[in-house]
A and B are shown apart, each in its own frame.
Chain A
């Protein structure tokens, strides 16, 4: 998987992770992949729902030392 952009949203609280994700996503083209790092526990549900509603594909979620990592492919 090629990652086209990495967004560091660690330490940010709701609603900032999705606000930043949307901003970063707008800079990508369809098919490109965004990697997001966050520490907000709600982000798991938030980003899954957001990706689904926007027609993007959530490829993978990973958790490492309290940091949640997401890979979303732009739809």
Chain B
């Protein structure tokens, strides 16, 4: 068989709906037998956060960031109609009705399908996120590693 096609996605957004779109496309691309990479940067890193509080040494501003940002995919807000957290509750109810997969399960499915999940180390530093706070089995890289994947890519998205 010919060499595998590649899909690369930059997940910049920390919104539940946008991350969901990114992960649905990623899982679809994996089903197309693409090699898929999701590069998480800035607010998108929160999708990789563990949901428990992990004690790590941080400065004051880093601690504040940690408190203000969603701890894990399930805690993310919506890009529209968030209604101070009521929006996500509504949409999750509707999703259940329509049998759509919630974001945490989409991420699990992505790992099962061997989608490469990458955390941008530079923005991790900016937001004060430490490796211990992020999920297991992910990779850490910078813009060069992302470009190496993207330049051979067939599908490339910024979400």
Contacts and interface: CB of A to CB of B under 8 A. Distances in A.
For this complex, into which size category does the number of interface residues on chain A fall? 10 to 19
Q: Which bracket fits the contact residues of B? A: 10 to 19
A59 interface: no
A47 B10 CA distance: 26
Interface of A: 11-16, 18-19, 21-22, 50, 53-54
Interface of B: 24-25, 27-28, 30-33, 98-101, 109, 113
A53 B28 CA distance: 13
A18 B100 contact: no
A24 B99 CA distance: 20
A19 B31 contact: yes
Contacts of A11: 99
Contact of B33 (A13, A14, A54): A54
Given A15-B24, A18-B28, 4 more contacts: A14-B28, A15-B28, A19-B109, A21-B31
A7 to B, nearest CB: 13
A19 B99 contact: no
Contacts of A18: 28, 31-32
Nearest to A17: B31
A12 B106 CA distance: 13
Contacts of A53: 32
Given A14-B24, A15-B24, A22 B98 contact: no
